[in-house]
Every structure is written in structure tokens, then in C-alpha cells.
Amino acid sequence: MNNRFMRIAVIGANGFIGKAVYESLLRMHELIEVIPLTRSNFDLTTPENCIVFPEVDCVVHAASKNDGSTYEIFNTNALTAGNVASRLNSAGVKKLIYLSSGAVYGPVEEPTYPGLECNPQGDYAVSKYLGEIKTAEVFTGNLSILRLYFPYGMGQNRQRLIPRLIARLKAGESIVCNHDGGPDLSLTHIDVITELISDLCLKELDSKGRSVNIRNVAGPEIIKLYTLVQALADVLGVEPNITSTGNAPNAVSIAFPDFPIRLFSANEVINKCMDA
């Protein structure tokens, strides 16, 4: 290997976020070598058979499962986390960027922050939190845990918030909001996520030993679900079928952003929603 090149591997490079990160890194610098890891060469459920490339400087762990059976979700997101981290240790990887979710905080009534106690609810949230814990316990290098809030943009599947809302609006199905129009949402465009991850990949290691840093990755503006649904309906040219119910907790929808990069305002969020 030419020593001029930094080598970055992306686990889950065929998923929505992983693919965007991979393509962003490919474009940003001629002295970076980016290695895409997909199920064909890095299946999380059989890490003992995974290919781990030698001399990798940084790994972005963007693979996860948010649908399917309870076993499938936990096996992908949590049960294999320690084994994967151990294999990265063996390969000499010094930096790992692990993508998690703001869902780990559970139902809350105020903006979340990394020091807030986690109380995850549901298979996906619990599995991601357990994955965080096991990864932090085993990985011996520089670990950044990024808790993402409602990522959206081109290439999303229907399991994500914006595509789900668009599909329900097109079908004329009911969308439930709180009486006050909530829950309040912190949405994060994929460009913001890839920009932050790219910066972290190129950043010099904070130390030569073990460290763990947790960040909330969320936009600074808060938008109510009712406002978002109305904006999408206007673009689609349909009449939204919105049902009001009692005010439920905001769940995992709001965060204090804590990273100094370009962010999108609420109006820009609405304008970009149809990219999904």
C-alpha cells in the first residue's frame, strides 16, 4: 500500500446512510482509499467469516436493521457487536465511527443530550443501545458514537419517516398527531450526516489509546409533525387526513445539536423533504 493513502472502510456501504457516506468519501479527497463492506464481504451475522482488510485507518459502522423479527434485529444490531469490535481490534483499526440512534433515549419531554440517561423502548432502540454498550466495552481504539435523528434524503426506503409519510399521504391514510401538532421533530438531512462523518474520518486521533465520544446528530430547528405533513401534502397536491389525539411524549424526536458544521433550517428541511 502507498503510505500516502488513508484507508477508510464503510460497513453497510449498500444501505441508505452507508452508501451516502461511501460516495461522499470517494468525492472528497484523492489521497483517501475507501473500502465498501457489504453483506457479500462483511455479514454482521457471521463476523467469523468477515473479511477485515489490513492497514485500515478508520472504520465507519453504518450497518443496522430496523425491521424484521426481534431475533433478526437484535442479531444484527447487538449480538454481533462485540465480535465485530474484536475483529477490528485484531486488524489494528484505531478509529471506529459507530452510527446509532436518538431512539436510545426513549420517551422524553425535553431535548436530549449525550449525558442524558438512556431508556430505550422497542426492539430497534434497545438493540442499538446494547450495540453501543458492547462496542464501547470491546473496542480498544478511538470510538465515536453518533446518535442520529430522523435522517432523510435521496435513496431512503419506506421504513424511514419521510417516505412513510409520503406513502400514507398518497394512499389517503390517516396520520396521527398530538393536539398541539406534535410530536416535535429534529430532522437531519443526509448531507449533514455525511459531512460530519467525513470530518471525523479525517480528523487526527485524539489519543493513541482508548477513548469514547458520544454525539447527537440533529438539526438545530424543531418542526412539528403536523407542519411537516401539511408541507408534504402541499407538494404532493393532496388533502392530508390528520387525526388528533392526546399529547404523547416527544419520544426521541428532539436533540441539542453538538457539532460545529453546516445545518439546515426548518424551511430548508421542508424544501428538501421531497428529495426522499
Residues 209 and 233 in one domain: no
Render pLDDT for 53-79 as a digit per residue (tens, 0 to 9). 668 889 999 998 888 888 888 888 898
Residues 120 and 211 in one domain: yes
Q: What is the mean pLDDT of residues 2-10?
A: 74
Q: Residue 1 domain-assigned?
A: no
Task: Check whether 45 has a pLDDT greater than 50.
Answer: yes
Q: Residue 131 domain-assigned?
A: yes
Q: Residue 91 domain-assigned?
A: yes
Residues 191 and 66 in one domain: yes
Residues 36 and 59 in one domain: yes
Residues 106 and 127 in one domain: yes
Residues 81 and 35 in one domain: yes
Residues 121 and 204 in one domain: yes
Is residue 87 within 8 Å of residue 41, measured between CB atoms? Answer: no
pLDDT of amino acid 273: 54
Q: Residue 105 domain-assigned?
A: yes
Q: Residue 15 domain-assigned?
A: yes
Task: Check whether 136 has a pLDDT greater than 90.
Answer: yes
201-205: long-range contacts at Cβ-Cβ below 8 A with a sequence spacing of 24 or more? 201/6, 201/8, 201/25, 201/58, 201/60, 201/95, 201/97, 202/6, 202/29, 202/32, 205/94, 205/95, 205/141, 205/142
pLDDT of amino acid 91: 87
Q: What is the secondary structure of 67-135 as a DSSP string?
A: SS-HHHHHIIIIITHHHHHHHHHHTT--EEEEEEEGGGG-S-SS-B-TTSPP---SHHHHHHHHHHHHH
Q: Which of 61-75, 216-230, 241-255, 262-276 has the highest mean pLDDT?
A: 61-75
Residue scoring higher pLDDT (92 or 207): 92
Residue scoring higher pLDDT (184 or 95): 95
Residues 248 and 205 in one domain: no
Residues 127 and 174 in one domain: no
Q: Which band of pLDDT confidence, cut at 50, 70 and 90, is reported for residue 267? A: low
Q: Residue 140 domain-assigned?
A: yes
Render pLDDT for 186-209 as a digit per residue (tens, 0 to 9). 888 888 889 889 888 888 665 567
Residues 108 and 204 in one domain: yes
Say which residue the cell 422524553 belongs to: 108
For residue 235, what is the domain's CATH number? 3.90.25.10
Q: Residue 144 domain-assigned?
A: yes
Number of neighbours of residue 48 by Cβ within 10 angstroms: 8
Residues 135 and 244 in one domain: no
User: Rounded to whole angstroms, how far apart are CA atoms 135 and 79?
Assistant: 10
The total of structural domains in the chain comes to 2
Residues 12 and 108 in one domain: yes
For residue 12, what is the domain's CATH number? 3.40.50.720
The boundaries of the domain holding residue 97 are 6-152+187-217
Q: How many residues can be counted in the chain?
A: 276
Radius of gyration of the chain (CA): 19
Q: Residue 258 domain-assigned?
A: no
